[in-house]
Structure 1
């Protein structure tokens, strides 16, 4: 009876753990992980994570504490997954006309590592519930764990912290402005004509002090430029530094002005692309909360 219950728990745990990993894996406009080989790698790792999480429960239930060793080895392997993703994306980034940037790459690498841990979590909860209680409660726990996993999948984006709108691109002599924000000096008349014809100006206005610091982060700016260029294309080739998408901060207002030269001229799509850029964990700052917590505290030392 116990053997049957253990097997049921392991099978259900592995099934829901793998399901959690499949839910978290999507190839979107960034085309990463690539199809099919990149997906095969991550599906295999997700299956291993789910199996480890589900097998750990009956092992510990029967006082076989060596299962902890397997979980620690799994954690080490998934840290190697993070390093693998970082190395791969850094190599790919050198071939991009508009690079992702180090902060974006680190965020993606951390996400791939964390998603394997979520697969272990789903498998662990499902397996434990199936073994301790009737098997149908394990099904309920498995679906509940998938809801938790789905919640972790949906992070915040630029639209949550800032207002995005288009702004006219204008030239004052050789100086280029987006709205009232100065971006750079464009010396060649040919480049100015291309920018005036094909360029889209965008202004990102932060909603509060925390958002102002976040969008000022260089890694977050580069992520915005990369996502917009990936979704709309970029009108440039190598050796043309003045045609690369650019972002510049207005120091007095905290606004971030962008200029991009897309292959497809669609200002509404450009706004949607900026609004859907994920907030990078390395870029998020909360100085307002920190200052509020620090009010009234005496200095020590």
Structure 2
């Protein structure tokens, strides 16, 4: 029975493509400290879309082998559907973000929406590779190609984090009258004595020193700074309630050195955890700037 199944190359190709496509989506779909996607309904939605993407990729290759070129149109329809998924995620997260004590911000939301669209294309790629090699050679070559495509998908899933572009260190938080400083970086004016006492007791100060001119411009981006504050507040908690602007986490630049001073007021004051959390904050694609690549950028000869 197994030999009969393996002799039907088209069926084997579809099954292999479907298996590795679904496996890729399962691996790429993980709920982490950001609690997104939510469990279980958010996962059900994205897993259903992942199965559809895997089926499209698995079926497209045998259809093209049979010279059924209209199969390509199904891929274009799928691309439109996945763009709609991106819009859906953007709208949903924008609505939810209104209820956050420390918001994600538009740049972070756009990055998350882009990731969910892109991962469906990685699923199609994985299923197509597994299906193609199963049809051209044998099922075990399809399995090898599926595994290789899965590793490629994982590589493209992972992006840079803050630890790769900045050096992170803790620093003192001090108050000079109503003026609040993180290290030597001025943060804000705190008017109420009760707020100053709370900040002196609970605050943690962090410095993110850029490793190069590209990193300096990247961390100056307001969307990247908001992502840092949101992730730190998600991991460490935030010691505030609504209507307390003086207790809002903040990030300000030293304009001379490009160092980013970060003030956080966590539920549990633990500087080591704050540093570890900051290291893992993703670098947003929309925030990345590379002035050194420009012909007019620094370190370029005239």
CA deviation after TM superposition for structure 1 residue 110, in Å: 0.1
CA deviation after TM superposition for structure 1 residue 290, in Å: 1.5
Q: Secondary structure at the match of 2:287?
A: coil
Work out which of the residue numbers 11, 27, 30 in structure 2 matches 1:26.
30
Unaligned runs of 5+ residues in structure 1 are none
Distance in structure 1 (CA, Å) of the matches to 2:296 and 2:138:
49
RMSD: 1.5
Work out which of the residue numbers 81, 93, 116 in structure 2 matches 1:77.
81
Work out which of the residue numbers 249, 253, 258 in structure 2 matches 1:249.
253
CA deviation after TM superposition for structure 1 residue 293, in Å: 7.8
CA deviation after TM superposition for structure 1 residue 291, in Å: 3.7
Query: Where does residue 149 of structure 2 map in the other structure?
Result: 145
Distance in structure 2 (CA, Å) of the matches to 1:293 and 1:182:
29
For the pair 1:282 / 2:289, whether they are aligned, the reply is no
Aligned length: 297
Unaligned runs of 5+ residues in structure 2 are none
After superposing on structure 2, the runs of 4+ consecutive aligned residues of structure 1 that deviate more than 4 Å are 292-297
CA deviation after TM superposition for structure 1 residue 292, in Å: 6.7
The C-alpha deviation readout for 1:57-84, integer Å capped at 9, x for no partner, is 0101000011011000000000000000
The C-alpha deviation readout for 1:154-185, integer Å capped at 9, x for no partner, is 21100000001111001111111000001111
Distance in structure 2 (CA, Å) of the matches to 1:28 and 1:133:
39
Query: Where does residue 44 of structure 1 map in the other structure?
Result: 48
Q: TM-score scaled by structure 1?
A: 0.96
Distance in structure 1 (CA, Å) of the matches to 2:276 and 2:295:
33
Query: Where does residue 10 of structure 1 map in the other structure?
Result: 14
For the pair 1:64 / 2:68, whether they are aligned, the reply is yes
Query: Where does residue 238 of structure 2 map in the other structure?
Result: 234
The C-alpha deviation readout for 1:227-248, integer Å capped at 9, x for no partner, is 0000010010011011010010
Query: Where does residue 208 of structure 2 map in the other structure?
Result: 204
Superposition map of 1:46-125 within 5 A: 46-125=50-129
Query: Structure 1's 16 and 292: CA in aligned 2 closer, same or farther, altered over 3 A?
Result: farther
Superposition map of 1:177-196 within 5 A: 177-196=181-200
